[in-house]
Every structure is written in C-alpha cells, then in structure tokens.
C-alpha cells in the first residue's frame, strides 16, 4: 500500500518529485561516469589491479579504522550529548558549541597539529617535557579522525535525546523500571535512528578520508585511490578503485537499513511533549566539566592553539587582510547557499523515507548517501563532463559549485531531518489536513516546526563540510575563485604553516559564528516549545 502511496505522491506533488529527480540524477551521473571510465580499462591490467593481496590488506585497514573510529567517537559523543541535554550542568550551551567546532577543523590540519604536538621535538616535549612517540599509522589516524568526526554523532544524538518524549520515561518509571532500566530499554532504543545516522556519517567519512590517513601513513582504500589519480595521472584505474570503494559503502548502507527497519518512535498520545526534567548533577558536575573540558581541549583547543602559534611567527610581517576578506567571501557565498539547498533537497527525501516506509523510498534515501561516498575528485570530474555536455554555459560558475556541494553533502543533511521526522507524529499532520490545510500547508504549519531542530543541524553540517571542501572546489569553482580552504591547503602543502594559519583560523572562527547562530535559533525553538506546552 505504501509503495502506491509513495508513487502517488511523486506523481502529484512537484515539490517532492523535483528534488527526488534532482538527487537521483546528481548521484547517478557520477556513477555512470565511473562505469564508463572503468570499462575503458585494459582487462588484464584491471584484473591485476583489482585482484591482489594488497587490496585485501587495504580492505582490512579500512574496515578496522572505521570500526575503531566509530567506537572512539561513541565514547566521546554519547556522554557529551547526555551532559548537554539531560543534566543541569551550567554552560551546556558553550559545551555544545565546542562539541560542534571540530567539524570546522580540516582533517589534514588536525593531523598536522597532532604530528606537531607529539614526538621528541613536539610541542608536548618542548613545553611540558612529555615525550610521546610521534603519532603515525593506525593510532594516529584513529585519534585524528575521531577528534574530527565525533560531532556528527554528537549532534545527531543530541537531536534524538532532545526529541525523546519524557512521558515515556515517566511511564516506564511508574511501571517499576529503575532509572538504569529506563535508560537501557526506553531511551536507548529511541536514539537508534540518531545513532545510526551519525554513525553512518562517521563511517562514510572514514571510508572517504584522504587527508588524515595520508599524513598518518595508514593505507586505506581511499589512500590507494588517491595515489592512482594523483601519482599516476590515471583516471581509468582510479575509477575502478572508486567503484570498489562504493561497493563497500553499499554494504554499509544495507547494514544500516536493516538496523533501521520498522522503527516507530513518535508520540501517539495527544498534546505536545514536555521537556524532560534535567538530572541534578551536584558533585558529579566536576566530572562532567572534566570530561567536556578535556574533549574540547583536545579537539578544539589544541588545533586552535597550535595554528595560532604558527601564525604568531608571521604576524610581524602583517596579515594578508585583502586576500582573507575575498577568500572568506568566496567560502561563505558558496557554502551558505549549498547548506540551504542541501537541506531543501534532503527534506522531501527524508520525509518520503520516514512516512512512506517501503523498499522503494528507502532506496532513494540510500542513493543519496552514495553521492556522499563517491570520491569527490571523481564526482567533480563527472560533473565536468555532464555540465559541458548538457549545460555548457553553467560550467565553472558559482551555481555549479553550489549545486555540486549540495548534492555531495546532502547525506549529511538527511540524518538529522530523518531523526526529527521519526519523532514528529504524523497524526498531527493528518488532523491539519482534515481541518482543510493543503498537504504542503499542513506540513509547513505542523511538521516543519517539529523538525526545525533537525533542519538546523543539517544546515550546520553541510555548511561546515562545504567550508573545508577541496577537490570539488579545485575543479568546479569559477577560475580565480579561491576559498579559505584552498588557501589553507595551498600554503600547508608547501610547508608554509605560518601563511596557512590565518586562513585556517578564519575558517574556524566563522564556522564557530555561524554554528553559534544556528544554536541560538535552536534554543529559541526549544523555548517556544516549552511555552507552547
């Protein structure tokens, strides 16, 4: 039944059909491109390249790293999400902001910072006399990637925790469960969509990362893929490796879909959920501060401090204000619209997937994740071919760049929206419909306010990713369009860290401002809800 309803919706409502078609095209074009290129390979060489022990080792490394990072990020993100949503810890807002900011630190910057901190000549040894072996390999990649990606999990879990209806917990308590049992049997299952959405992003991020693993010298699939493109000027074998990477992603997506099946988490009763009563931490407060502070120190304080130290050397010779200004404008003018567009596209897709659960709608949702998992360089090359063939006047325009960002990062936007939708009761919307609202009107006046928190997180995710993006920007941006990320990379690549530092700090500072603004909106959203109740 739901399949036919979903098809119905696609047929009759353009505001669902258009985004869905757009997203499908945006993902299938790169995929098609990769297949075309891969088929150009010489079969023998291809066979030798695909079937070899090295690939098995790469596979093992990639999966091992992904699992490790998932573990570490969970250990960081879960307590942090709980502290900032369920306790009376003063300064929760600041902790939340600090928990998002690592997303503003480009992975390779984090890796360089960690490398500069450890070792015989590292900052730790210089300042505190602590000689920690210079990070590299699995442990280095694990630490750097975990510090960079835990916010994905943190924000998704936070959204989920805030959306849990406290009445459920209270009923469970009243029925005789202990606090601990309530947590395990009532709260945790509610967090599953949020956890899966965040975990998926973390996992896909690890699968696709190149910046960190290359600096830490830990060989994964994407590392090998990069070598094919960069070292060998080879588009064809790189395409084959990209397809192998995508196959791995499809496996992960299947796993996630299985774990999500049949979830129904929204309230069925009448009225609006209250905010849950925060736990009084009392003496536990200090443990909370120690944990939150420690995480923030390592994931935000350390990179900002180190980059600031690099910059201190160069401040004497003056900061490149003009160039900073123009690259900031370039970054913002591409990232903000991309974030908006991605959220706009993700909403109908998440909506279809949650409200009309069927194999069909879930496939659409999964397909959107494939765009995220397509190696950005391949993604950009595919868009070059496509744009020049179909809309040549759009080539190397800002519009193309924004679209490419939005399509590539949309997966980051789907998760939070989906989590919010799971917790928004559909009968409210049905009631609005029966009172005479149009489908769009009912959605806008009833469901949209309930998913606003999810939307804000989505926008923040995509914005932060777009601010750091490199390969797509390199290839698709208008000629002469230089973002902060391009400048940071360009100087860091030539070991001119002092020159790179102002750009890196500007990325972090403005990302902090933007995310801070979004979080303030989240607070007001929550405030309105409390009042309404």
Partner 1 sequence: MSRFFRLFSVLFLGVVLLGCGGGEPDELVIYSGRSKALVDSLVSMYQEKADVPVRVKYGSDAQLLAALQEEGDQSPADVYWANTTGALGNAVNNDLLVELPDSVANTPARFVPSNQQWTPVTTRFRVLAYNSDQIDPEDLPESVRDLPKNRDLEGRVGWTPSYSSFQDFVTAMRVTQGADATRSWLQGMQNLNPNSYTSNTPMIRALAAGEIDVALTNHYYVLRLKHGGAEGEYEGDEEEEEEHEEEEEEQTRASAPVETYRFSEGDLGNLALVTGAGVLQTSDQSAAAQRFLQFLLSEQAQSFAANRVNEYPVVSGTEVPQYMVPVDSALGLSPEFELERLQEMDPTLDLLRDVGLL
If phi > 0 it is left, if psi is from -120 to 50 it is alpha, else beta; for residue 5 that is alpha
- Contact flag: residue 486 with partner 1 (CB under 8 A): yes
Candidate residues 270, 317, 321, 436; the one interacting with partner 1 per rule CB under 8 A:
317
Candidate residues 475, 509, 516, 526; the one interacting with partner 1 per rule CB under 8 A:
475
Smaller CB separation from partner 1, 66 or 343? 343
Candidate residues 356, 372, 461, 491; the one interacting with partner 1 per rule CB under 8 A:
491
Candidate residues 4, 12, 40, 126; the one interacting with partner 1 per rule CB under 8 A:
126
Q: Which stretch binds partner 1 (CB under 8 A): 14-22, 149-157, 186-194, 210-218?
A: 210-218
Candidate residues 55, 490, 509, 526; the one interacting with partner 1 per rule CB under 8 A:
490
Smaller CB separation from partner 1, 305 or 394? 394
Q: Which residues contact 174 (CB under 8 A, 6 or more apart)?
A: none
Helix (H) / strand (E) element for 256: namely: helix 236-260
- Contact flag: residue 214 with partner 1 (CB under 8 A): yes
- Contact flag: residue 167 with partner 1 (CB under 8 A): no
Q: How would you class 55 by CB atoms within 10 Å of its CB: exposed for 0-12, middle for 13-18, buried for 19 or more?
A: middle
Contacts of partner 1 in 443-462 (CB under 8 A): 444, 448-449, 452, 455
User: How big is the CA angle at 454 (ends 77 and 180), to the nearest 5 degrees?
Assistant: 45
Shortest separation between residue 102's beta carbon and partner 1, angstroms: 21
DSSP string, 131-180: --PPP-HHHHHHHHHHHHHHHHHHHHHHHHHHHS-HHHHHHHHHTT--HH
Shortest separation between residue 137's beta carbon and partner 1, angstroms: 10
- Contact flag: residue 15 with partner 1 (CB under 8 A): no
How far is CA 73 from each of CA 148, 186, 202, 417, rounded to the nearest angstrom?
Answer: 9, 22, 8, 21
Smaller CB separation from partner 1, 57 or 185? 57
Q: How many residues bind partner 1 (CB under 8 A)?
A: 78
Q: Minimal CA–CA distance to 141: which of 62, 200, 249, 196?
A: 62
Smaller CB separation from partner 1, 227 or 257? 227
Smaller CB separation from partner 1, 323 or 363? 323
Candidate residues 180, 479, 531, 532; the one interacting with partner 1 per rule CB under 8 A:
479
Candidate residues 49, 58, 197, 508; the one interacting with partner 1 per rule CB under 8 A:
49
Smaller CB separation from partner 1, 250 or 388? 388
Are 405 and 457 in contact by the 8 Å Cβ rule? The answer is no
Shortest separation between residue 246's beta carbon and partner 1, angstroms: 19
Shortest separation between residue 79's beta carbon and partner 1, angstroms: 32
- Contact flag: residue 79 with partner 1 (CB under 8 A): no
- Contact flag: residue 364 with partner 1 (CB under 8 A): no
Smaller CB separation from partner 1, 190 or 374? 374
Contacts of partner 1 in 497-526 (CB under 8 A): 498-499
Q: Minimal CA–CA distance to 373: which of 338, 412, 326?
A: 412
Smaller CB separation from partner 1, 58 or 142? 58
- Contact flag: residue 42 with partner 1 (CB under 8 A): no
Q: Which stretch binds partner 1 (CB under 8 A): 197-205, 271-279, 376-384, 421-429?
A: 376-384
Sign of the dihedral through C-alpha 209, 110, 467, 377: negative
Q: Which residues contact 216 (CB under 8 A, 6 or more apart)?
A: 111, 135, 136, 137, 140, 141, 144
Contacts of partner 1 in 241-270 (CB under 8 A): none
3-state class (DSSP) for residue 279:
strand
Task: State the first-to-last Cα distance of the chain, in angstroms, to the nearest integer.
Answer: 35
- Contact flag: residue 295 with partner 1 (CB under 8 A): no
Strand partners, 87: 279
CA distance 463 to 457: 10
Q: How would you class 231 by CB atoms within 10 Å of its CB: exposed for 0-12, middle for 13-18, buried for 19 or more?
A: exposed
3-state class (DSSP) for residue 429:
helix
Contacts of partner 1 in 50-69 (CB under 8 A): 54
Shortest separation between residue 19's beta carbon and partner 1, angstroms: 13
- Contact flag: residue 308 with partner 1 (CB under 8 A): no
Candidate residues 4, 12, 40, 120; the one interacting with partner 1 per rule CB under 8 A:
120
- Contact flag: residue 430 with partner 1 (CB under 8 A): no
Smaller CB separation from partner 1, 65 or 343? 343
Strand partners, 279: 87
Q: Minimal CA–CA distance to 258: which of 156, 356, 155, 366?
A: 366
Q: Which stretch binds partner 1 (CB under 8 A): 19-27, 164-172, 358-366, 380-388?
A: 380-388
Q: Minimal CA–CA distance to 202: which of 42, 341, 66?
A: 66
Contacts of partner 1 in 219-238 (CB under 8 A): 223, 226-235
- Contact flag: residue 293 with partner 1 (CB under 8 A): no
Contacts of partner 1 in 90-119 (CB under 8 A): 112, 115-116, 119
CA distance 47 to 45: 5
Are 501 and 311 in contact by the 8 Å Cβ rule? The answer is yes
Contacts of partner 1 in 318-347 (CB under 8 A): 333-334, 336-337, 340-341, 343-344
Are 507 and 304 in contact by the 8 Å Cβ rule? The answer is no
Smaller CB separation from partner 1, 361 or 447? 447
Shortest separation between residue 33's beta carbon and partner 1, angstroms: 9
SS (H, E, C) 469-527: CCHHHHHHCCCCCCCHHHHHHHHHHCCCHHHHHHHHHHHHHHHHHHHHHHHHHHHHHHH
């Amino acid at each position: 039944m739901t399949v036919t309803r979903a098809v119905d919706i696609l047929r009759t409502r353009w505001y669902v059909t258009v985004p869905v078609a757009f997203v499908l095209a945006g993902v299938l074009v790169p995929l098609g491109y990769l297949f075309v290129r891969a088929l150009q390979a010489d079969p023998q060489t291809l066979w030798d390249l695909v079937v070899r022990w090295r690939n098995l080792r790469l596979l093992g490394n990639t999966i091992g790293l992904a699992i490790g990072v998932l573990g570490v990020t969970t250990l960081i993100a879960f307590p942090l999400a709980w502290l900032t949503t369920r306790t009376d810890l003063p300064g929760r807002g600041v902790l939340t902001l600090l928990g998002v900011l690592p997303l503003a630190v480009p992975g390779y910057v984090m890796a360089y910072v960690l490398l500069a901190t450890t070792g015989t000549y590292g900052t730790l040894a210089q300042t505190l006399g602590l000689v920690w072996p210079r990070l590299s390999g699995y442990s280095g990649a694990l630490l750097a990637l975990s510090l960079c990606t835990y916010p994905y999990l943190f924000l998704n879990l936070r959204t989920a925790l805030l959306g849990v209806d406290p009445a459920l917990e209270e009923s469970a308590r009243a029925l005789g469960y202990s606090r601990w049992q309530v947590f395990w049997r009532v709260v945790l299952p509610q967090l599953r969509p949020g956890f899966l959405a965040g975990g998926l992003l973390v996992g896909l991020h690890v699968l696709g990362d190149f910046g960190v693993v290359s600096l830490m010298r830990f060989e994964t699939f994407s590392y090998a893929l990069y070598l094919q493109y960069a070292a060998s000027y080879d588009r064809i074998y790189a395409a084959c490796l990209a397809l192998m990477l995508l196959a791995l992603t499809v496996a992960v997506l299947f796993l996630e879909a299985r774990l999500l099946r049949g979830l129904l988490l929204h309230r069925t009763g009448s009225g609006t959920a209250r905010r849950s009563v925060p736990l009084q931490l009392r003496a536990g407060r200090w443990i909370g501060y120690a944990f939150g502070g420690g995480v923030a120190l390592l994931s935000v304080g350390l990179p900002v401090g180190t980059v600031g130290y690099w910059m201190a050397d160069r401040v004497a010779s003056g900061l490149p204000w003009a160039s900073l200004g123009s690259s900031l404008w370039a970054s913002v003018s591409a990232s903000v619209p991309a974030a908006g567009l991605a959220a706009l596209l993700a909403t109908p897709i998440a909506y279809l997937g949650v409200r009309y659960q069927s194999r069909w709608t879930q496939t659409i949702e999964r397909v959107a994740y494939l765009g995220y998992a397509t190696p950005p360089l391949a993604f950009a090359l595919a868009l070059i071919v496509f744009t020049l063939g179909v809309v040549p006047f759009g080539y190397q325009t800002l519009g193309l760049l924004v679209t490419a960002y939005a399509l590539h990062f949309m997966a980051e936007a789907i998760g939070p929206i989906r989590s919010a939708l799971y917790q928004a009761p559909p009968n409210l919307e049905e009631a609005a419909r029966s009172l005479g609202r149009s489908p769009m009107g009912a959605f806008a006046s009833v469901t949209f306010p309930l998913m606003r928190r999810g939307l804000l997180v989505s926008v923040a995710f995509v914005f932060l990713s777009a601010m750091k993006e490199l390969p797509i920007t390199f290839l698709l941006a208008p000629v002469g369009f230089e973002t902060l990320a391009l400048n940071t990379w360009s100087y860091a690549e030539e070991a001119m860290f002092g020159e790179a530092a102002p750009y890196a700090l500007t990325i972090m500072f403005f990302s902090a401002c933007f995310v801070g603004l979004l979080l303030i909106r989240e607070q007001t959203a929550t405030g309105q809800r409390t009042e309404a109740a």
